[in-house]
Every structure is written in structure tokens, then in C-alpha cells.
């Protein structure tokens, strides 16, 4: 898209939605729990997959470009070879779903025509990069309409998602991509169907309620999904629920009754079957603080007991739902410890195979989601996991700022 296009105001032309395509389930949708963490793509995108597998993930989240800067022209697309390596490695490691978190500067609700147009262009690029990587989900904070109000913001979001999706569908690069996603036809069984231009599903993330941002209330999410449906966005967007944001926005998810009430409200508003990802983050900020600060699992205002209830809640635990942490890395190994905490709270041990040789049979994960057995001593369980290697890998990169 040209700069001229970016800087134009809200365009007036109408773009017809593409016809829906036949879907088949992806490889990762095998009924086993999907646990993951936000992982850095520094160096080469496919390394994030190895890092995730090494620390015990069966799913992961990444940024496809710098999350707090507008991408430079050469960063708007993933080089074809890099995207192909990512998709091949992801298939070899049987990781999924892969979620991409969108840039924080994007404001799809903006009442300012120029900022809105820039956001639509940047979001189209996000859809394109996520599709190139074969990602399943693209998670976005809807943004803020500021003084223009919630209703205007929701209309702007639906229009922005519609136009960005249409823009992404027109890009030739995606015809070469082989999406590996929930909505994509299986190229192995359906040779007659051309690969779809984009099959990544957009997920709106709930927010902590800072300022005038949308999505701190379930009614906002409901209205955005309805507005996108009415506008003809396909595939229809879903929802990502962030536990730290829920608590900060005033949802009492720490007690059994509070969690039941929150989930009942969410289900009544937009249907829990539209919740594809749960961001599992403990919160440094208390209930109703409207402040977004993530903490390690079990070490914040939510606590281990509440996380055990969340992860095992019958309405949340399902084969097609991923639990992804976006916890800080204050010390080397924090990512591995948070992933292990999630498995432990599910009553399972993480996958124990660590990839050592790229592309070799040894790198394939063993069956995962093995129930914890009281007879297995912790020392024996530990000896089966090469934690030292994981610790060394984690120590190579230490970040203090966690995704939101």
C-alpha cells in the first residue's frame, strides 16, 4: 500500500467480501491441551518455535514485527524463505495454535481519519505477515475512539477490520503461502481448492480499562463481533481474554463464584465458543485498578489457586482453546518456569522432548499432556527434562517488558 493510500482519510469505496472457503481442522487440533508463552522472534522467526518447544510449549504467541514502532517499508512483509522455514518448522514441531499479537500503535477505533487510515494499512500488513507465517490468530487491542464515544469506536473497528481484510486478500504474496490454520483447506487432501489469501482469524483482546479504550467491558466485545459480522468480515473475529486485564477491569475472577459469574456474563454477551485464546497473566495491579501490569503466574493479585480454577474450568478447558502466558522475564528461565506453572496447574507435565537437531526425528516432541502421577518422584521427572539446556537458552535473552 502506498504512503498516499495510508494518508488518505476514510476511503469511500465499497469492497465486496470474498466468498467463504471450506474449512478442515488443523493438525494441532488434536484434543490435547495447548499451553504456550509469548516468544521472541529476534534473529529468525522460526527460532521462536524452537524456543517455545524447548521450554515445554505446545502453542505460542509472537510479534511479526516491532510492536511499538511503525514497520519500515522492508519490514512490512516477511521474506518468502523465512516464512517458508517458519511454516515447515512449526509443522515439524507440531506447535499450534500460533498467535500473532498486533502492534500496539494500531488504533482501529480512532476518530481521526489519518490515524485511522494508517491503522488500517498497518493492520492489513499484520494480517498479511500473520498469513505468510501460517498463523492461526491475530490478536489486537481494538483501540480508543476517545471523545467520539464507544458506539463510534465500534463502527470504526468493524470498518477497519473489513477494509484491512480486503486489502490483505488482494496481496499476491499470500497466494504462495500455504496457511496452516483453522480455516484453511487441507492442501494434502483438497488439491482442487486454491489456498485462501488469508485465513488468519482476528481476535479482539479485552483490555484493563485504562483511559477511553474499548473492550474493557464484555458489551464492547459483543458489539464489535456483531458489527464485524454485519459488515461481512470473514472469517468472523473471535475473542482473546486476558486474565490480568479482566482483574484490572473489575472482574472478580479469583473466587469460584466470581469466576462463574464472569464466564456467565461473557457467554451471555458473545458466547464462550468465540474465545480462542486465554492470555494467562497474573497481575501486579489489584482488582478494578484499570492498570495493566503483568506478573508471574501465582505471584500477583490473582494467585495460583485462582489460576488452577481458571485453567480447569469446564467452560474454558477445551481442545480448541490455547492458554498463552505474557509474563515478564525478570530472571533467566522465567519463561520456562511460567510455562511449567501452567502445566502443573492443569495437573499435567509438559512435553519432555527438547529439540536438539533442527529438522531431525529427535526434534519431534513426544506425546505431551501426560497426566501427573504421584508415583513419579520430582527428581525422576526432572531428570527426564534437559532443563539446563532450556536454562541456557532462556538466559540468552532477558526482557523486562512483557507483552500486553
Which residues make up the interface to Zn ion (CB under 5 A)?
Answer: 205, 242, 279, 326, 404
Chain Cα centroid distance, residue 248: 20
Phi and psi angles of residue 278, each rounded to the nearest 5 degrees, phi first: -110, 120
Residues near 198 by beta carbon (within 8 Å), at least 6 away in sequence: 127, 128, 131, 165, 168, 169, 174, 179
Shortest Cβ 205–Zn ion spacing (Å): 5
256: left (phi over 0), alpha (psi -120 to 50) or beta: alpha
> Which of these, 48, 38, 135, 145, lies nearest to 96 by C-alpha position?
135
Lookup: cell for 15: 469492497
Nearer Cβ to Zn ion (307/368): 307
Nearer Cβ to Zn ion (237/351): 237
Shortest Cβ 244–Zn ion spacing (Å): 7
Nearer Cβ to Zn ion (69/151): 69
Lookup: cell for 375: 508415583
- Dump strand ranges (E) for 39-178: 59-62, 98-101, 137-140
Shortest Cβ 101–Zn ion spacing (Å): 6
Q: Which residues pair with residue 294 across a beta bridge? A: 283
Shortest Cβ 402–Zn ion spacing (Å): 9
Nearer Cβ to Zn ion (248/390): 248
Nearer Cβ to Zn ion (77/404): 404
Lookup: cell for 81: 524463505
Provide DSSP, 376-404. S-HHHHHHTS-HHHHHHHHHT---SPPP-
Shortest Cβ 261–Zn ion spacing (Å): 21
Nearer Cβ to Zn ion (169/279): 279
Shortest Cβ 279–Zn ion spacing (Å): 4
* Cα 19 to Cα 162, 196, 235, distances in angstroms: 14, 10, 10
* Cα 143 to Cα 179, 195, 270, 276, distances in angstroms: 28, 31, 19, 20
Q: Residue 349 is inside which H or E element, if any? A: strand 348-349
Nearer Cβ to Zn ion (145/241): 241
Nearer Cβ to Zn ion (156/206): 206
Shortest Cβ 104–Zn ion spacing (Å): 8
Shortest Cβ 102–Zn ion spacing (Å): 8
| Residues comprising the chain, all counted | 404
Q: How many helices (H) and strands (E) does the chain have?
A: 13, 12
Nearer Cβ to Zn ion (205/295): 205
Shortest Cβ 141–Zn ion spacing (Å): 6
Virtual torsion, Cα 257, 263, 267, 271, nearest 10 deg? -160
Amino acid at each position: 500500500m502506498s504512503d498516499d493510500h495510508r494518508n488518505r482519510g476514510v476511503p469511500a469505496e465499497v469492497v465486496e467480501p470474498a466468498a467463504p472457503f471450506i474449512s478442515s481442522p488443523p493438525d494441532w487440533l488434536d484434543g490435547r491441551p495447548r499451553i504456550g508463552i509469548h516468544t521472541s522472534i529476534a534473529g529468525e522467526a522460526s527460532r521462536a518455535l524452537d524456543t517455545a518447544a524447548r521450554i515445554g510449549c505446545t502453542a505460542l504467541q509472537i510479534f511479526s514485527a516491532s510492536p511499538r514502532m511503525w514497520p519500515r517499508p522492508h519490514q512490512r512483509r516477511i521474506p518468502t524463505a523465512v516464512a517458508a522455514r517458519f511454516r515447515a518448522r512449526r509443522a515439524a514441531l507440531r506447535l499450534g495454535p500460533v498467535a500473532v499479537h498486533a502492534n500496539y500503535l494500531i488504533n482501529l477505533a480512532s476518530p481521526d481519519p489519518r490515524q485511522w487510515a494508517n491503522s488500517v494499512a498497518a493492520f492489513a500488513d499484520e494480517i498479511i505477515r500473520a498469513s505468510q507465517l501460517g498463523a492461526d490468530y491475530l490478536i489486537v487491542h481494538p483501540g480508543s475512539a476517545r471523545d467520539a464515544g464507544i458506539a463510534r469506536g465500534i463502527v470504526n473497528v468493524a470498518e477497519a477490520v473489513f477494509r484491512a481484510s480486503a486489502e490483505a486478500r488482494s496481496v499476491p504474496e499470500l497466494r504462495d503461502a500455504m496457511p496452516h490454520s483453522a480455516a484453511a483447506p487441507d492442501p494434502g487432501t483438497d488439491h482442487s481448492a486454491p489456498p485462501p489469501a488469508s485465513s488468519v482469524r482476528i481476535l479482539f483482546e479485552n483490555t484493563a480499562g485504562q483511559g477511553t479504550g474499548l473492550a474493557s467491558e464484555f458489551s464492547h466485545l459483543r458489539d464489535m463481533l456483531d458489527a464485524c459480522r454485519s459488515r461481512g468480515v470473514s472469517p468472523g473475529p473471535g475473542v482473546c481474554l486476558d486474565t490480568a486485564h479482566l482483574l484490572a477491569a473489575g472482574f472478580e475472577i479469583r473466587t469460584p463464584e466470581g469466576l462463574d459469574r464472569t464466564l456467565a456474563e461473557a457467554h451471555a454477551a458473545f458466547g464462550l465458543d468465540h474465545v480462542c485464546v486465554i492470555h494467562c497473566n497474573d497481575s501486579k495491579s489489584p482488582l478494578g485498578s484499570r492498570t495493566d501490569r503483568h506478573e508471574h503466574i501465582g505471584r500477583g493479585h490473582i494467585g495460583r489457586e485462582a489460576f488452577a480454577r481458571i485453567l480447569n474450568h469446564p467452560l474454558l478447558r477445551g481442545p480448541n482453546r490455547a492458554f498463552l502466558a505474557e509474563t515478564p522475564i525478570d530472571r533467566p528461565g522465567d519463561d520456562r518456569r511460567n510455562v511449567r506453572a501452567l502445566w502443573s496447574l492443569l495437573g499435567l507435565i509438559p512435553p519432555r522432548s527438547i529439540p536438539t537437531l533442527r529438522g531431525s526425528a529427535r526434534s519431534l516432541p513426544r506425546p505431551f499432556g501426560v497426566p501427573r502421577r504421584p508415583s513419579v518422584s520430582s527428581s525422576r521427572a526432572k531428570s527426564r527434562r534437559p532443563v539446563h539446556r532450556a536454562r541456557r537458552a532462556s538466559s540468552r535473552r532477558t526482557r523486562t517488558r512483557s507483552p500486553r
